[in-house]
Structure 1
Amino acid sequence: MTVRTPSSRIPTARPSAAPASRFRRAAVPLVLCAGLTVGLTACGGPDPDEGTNGVGKLSAPEIEQKARSAADTARAVRLAGTLVSKGGTYKLDMRLQQDGATGSVSTKNSTFELLRVGDALYLKADAGFWTHDDKGGKPDEADAEAADKLDDMYVKVPRDDPSYKQLRGFTEMDQLLGGLIGLHGDVVKGDRDQIGGVRTVKVKGGQDGEGGTLDVALEGSPYPLRFARGGGAGLVVLSDWDKDFPLAEPNRDQTLDYGRQLPRT
């Protein structure tokens, strides 16, 4: 006689295949992710260079060269910011073309406008500019009267005036850009940023940017959009690349002859 124990009636549990199949299903995308083309930050994650001009994938020296080339071929640009040079601080807002420029320059003591069409250079300032004396002296009555007449009028700067070369330097597109875009030291790639709503990549002279930091556009042409000079020697924003603007010499009724050497700026 066979005695059936309660335990003998309990069916034996079979190992479920579900965990193994789930593991296999989960492993498939992981394998695919590992095999994706190098460049994605994570499987399914956004590509930081999607929709860009591809400059962000280049090395730092290549990015700098792209920015230089784009600037060299541009016909126009707007440059606004502050520069420190030879102990002086200049605040500029200039629209520049290859054959001329228009805009304003501010120093510690004065603000004036510049207009250049070809070699013809004009300066416009208020009466205080024309009566300013570096030694703090008070202008005589004749000087004050002349300054009142020159107030807000264009004065053509003679080419043999000592100030001509200095003032013209603020209107020279190639000269200004050549002095601004150049980085010093070993060039390294920095972080991503945005300037005026345009995505940029930074390139720096030295790890800490002591040789300058340049923001290069990642959208459209790789124009330089901002430059921070090393050592706190100024920060300028570059915009309106290749946007033409009208340039014309002022009318005769807008100009006066200063009749002597221009004040030092």
Structure 2
Amino acid sequence: MPRRRPRRAALVPATCALAVTGAAVLTGCGGGGDPDAGTNGVGKLPAAKIQAKTRAAADAAAAVRLSGTVVTSGRTYQLDMRLKAAGGSGSVTSQGATFKLLRVGRQLYLKADSDFWQQAEGKGGDGAAGTLDGKYVKVPQGDPAYKKFSGFTDKDVLLDGLLTLHGTLATDGHHDQSGTRTIRITGDKGSGGTLDVSLQGTPYPLRLVRAGDAGTLRFTDWGKDFAVTEPAKSETVDYGRQLPTS
């Protein structure tokens, strides 16, 4: 009679077959697997080439959704913006106040409630908060608020300022972002920022940790179009002078 194979030996292949977590396949029980198997291949490139490819992919994409925090000039902004060449829309929260931004072409609108406008006007305000409450307020291009907030709605400007790591670039292993396999690149071992790049399909950036604790951002809906249209006249106010900025 043939000798029976030990049961323990028979279980080894089954155990290896179950070694799957989410979308990322572990590199095998013997450690000899290829973590880049079945990917777009950018994980095998030097960090500088990965950054160049992800920048090119981001620039070529028709649209993107960006969410998370940005710290600039000592102030923290919570963003949830959708961006494309023709404009952008979304919400911004800062110092407990939330407002919406909409840019159609070169025209920027800001929409907020009366509490926001009262806070912006301060004690010396002219009482216009009630008129502006819940309306899309046109922001003149010469207004300081235009320069301050239009960048949050401009895909090219915003990504150019964000997707550059500082210092010496290096790769920092394979990771996972919401079920998508990624390769992580760092600047100066993380002190110059970290960026997770998709290993599936187009090598889009998926998650950015900015240098100097300047915020963390996620990038989703790459290439997914959305409508950017002028608000109705009944919902629009032309303030006609410099907006209050506190």
What TM-score do you get using the length of structure 1 for normalisation?
0.78
1:60 matched to 2:60? no
Query: Counterpart of 1:202?
Result: 184
Identity between Structure 1 and Structure 2 (%): 54
CA RMSD of aligned residues (A): 1.9
Query: Counterpart of 2:213?
Result: 232
Tell me if structure 1 keeps the 8 A contact 2:71–2:215: yes
Cα deviation digits, residues 22-46 of structure 1 (max 9, x gap): xxxxxxxxxxxxxxxxxx8887953
Q: Which runs of 4+ in 1 moved over 6 A?
A: 40-44
1:44/1:191 Cα in 2 relative to 1: closer, same or farther (>3 Å)? Answer: closer
Query: Counterpart of 1:32?
Result: none
Count of aligned residue pairs for this structure pair: 220
1:216/1:44 Cα in 2 relative to 1: closer, same or farther (>3 Å)? Answer: closer
Tell me if structure 1 keeps the 8 A contact 2:58–2:204: yes
- Aligned pairs (5 A) from 1:246-265: 246-264=227-245
Select the residue among 50, 64, 83 that pairs with 1:77: 64
Select the residue among 152, 174, 183 that pairs with 1:192: 174
Give the aligned residue type for 2:184: K
1:162/1:133 Cα in 2 relative to 1: closer, same or farther (>3 Å)? Answer: closer
- Aligned pairs (5 A) from 1:104-115: 104-115=91-102
1:46 matched to 2:27? no
Tell me if structure 1 keeps the 8 A contact 2:80–2:90: yes
Tell me if structure 1 keeps the 8 A contact 2:66–2:218: yes
- 5+ residue gaps in structure 1? 1-39
Larger relative contact order (CA 8 Å, sep ≥ 6)? 2
Tell me if structure 2 keeps the 8 A contact 1:106–1:112: yes
Partner SS state of residue 48, structure 1: coil
Query: Counterpart of 1:174?
Result: 156
Could you tell me how far apart the structure 1 residues matched to 2:31 and 2:48 are?
30
Cα deviation digits, residues 13-67 of structure 1 (max 9, x gap): xxxxxxxxxxxxxxxxxxxxxxxxxxx8887953211211011111111111111
Query: Counterpart of 2:17?
Result: none
Tell me if structure 2 keeps the 8 A contact 1:131–1:139: no
Partner SS state of residue 153, structure 2: coil
Partner SS state of residue 217, structure 2: strand
Cα deviation digits, residues 79-132 of structure 1 (max 9, x gap): 101011111111111000012000011111521101001011111000011111
Query: Counterpart of 2:225?
Result: 244
Q: Quick check: which has more Rg, 1 or 2? A: 1
1:223 matched to 2:204? yes
Tell me if structure 1 keeps the 8 A contact 2:62–2:223: yes
Give the aligned residue type for 1:113: K
Partner SS state of residue 71, structure 1: helix
